[in-house]
Chains A and B, each alone.
Chain A
């Protein structure tokens, strides 16, 4: 079975500060991992994905995530938060590589303070 846990349902950062959103997965085999962003009243947009290539994955809008097998983590970071980053972020995992078996985390709401 696969699962993903997002630590912190709400995260607040100041504009210009580091953004760190945590995601840990449970898997006995190498997973495929995804981060999505959802702005209010919009669909989910793919930020980045890990598919067993480079462990440091760069995505859109200046975000990146690092796959750490020893920590079973795939945390999302951005060096400097912008007001436009305020949104909900979802981590997702699939073991088989098939999107049919995609499991989503419960989401983290990011607030950016001026």
Chain B
């Protein structure tokens, strides 16, 4: 069966520091991968999605970037964190072919102070 991992689970970082969040998927090949953010009271915001290694689409302009160095690895990064980057970050995967379903990881709680 497929599983999705995210780490770290929680992170407290000062403003201006770098960020690296990692997501890995097991038990499937060539998945679509997604990064979402949940800010307090603001629902789910799709940040990035990827259909393959090195292929990243950005949904909103922001202080963050994403990379996919391996088929089942998705990384969310920032060079300098802002207060507004605080939130709950969720990684998800889906099958390549439709109809498909998104399956979510456990999330990372990021607090920027």
Q: Which residues of A contact B103 (CB under 8 A)?
A: 46
Question: In the docked arrangement, what's the CA distance between A30 and B6, Å?
Answer: 34
| Distance of A33 from chain B, by nearest CB (Å) | 11
Q: Which residues of A contact B20 (CB under 8 A)?
A: none
Q: For B102, give the chain A residue with the smallest CB separation.
A: A99
Given A41-B88, A43-B107, A44-B90: A100 in contact with B49 (beta carbons within 8 A): yes
Comparing B11-19, B66-74, B78-86, B92-100, the segment that makes contact with chain A is B92-100
Give residues of chain A (65-111) contacting chain B, Cβ–Cβ below 8 Å: 90, 92, 96-100, 102, 104-107
Whether A55 sits at the interface, judged by CB under 8 Å, is no
Whether A51 sits at the interface, judged by CB under 8 Å, is yes
Of the candidates B44, B49, B98, B102, the one whose C-beta lies within 8 Å of that of A97 is B98
**A98–B43 touching, CB < 8 Å:** no
Of the candidates A46, A99, A106, the one whose C-beta lies within 8 Å of that of B95 is A99
**B88–A51 touching, CB < 8 Å:** no
Question: In the docked arrangement, what's the CA distance between A106 and B90, Å?
Answer: 16
**A106–B43 touching, CB < 8 Å:** yes
Give residues of chain B (34-59) contacting chain A, Cβ–Cβ below 8 Å: 43-44, 49, 51
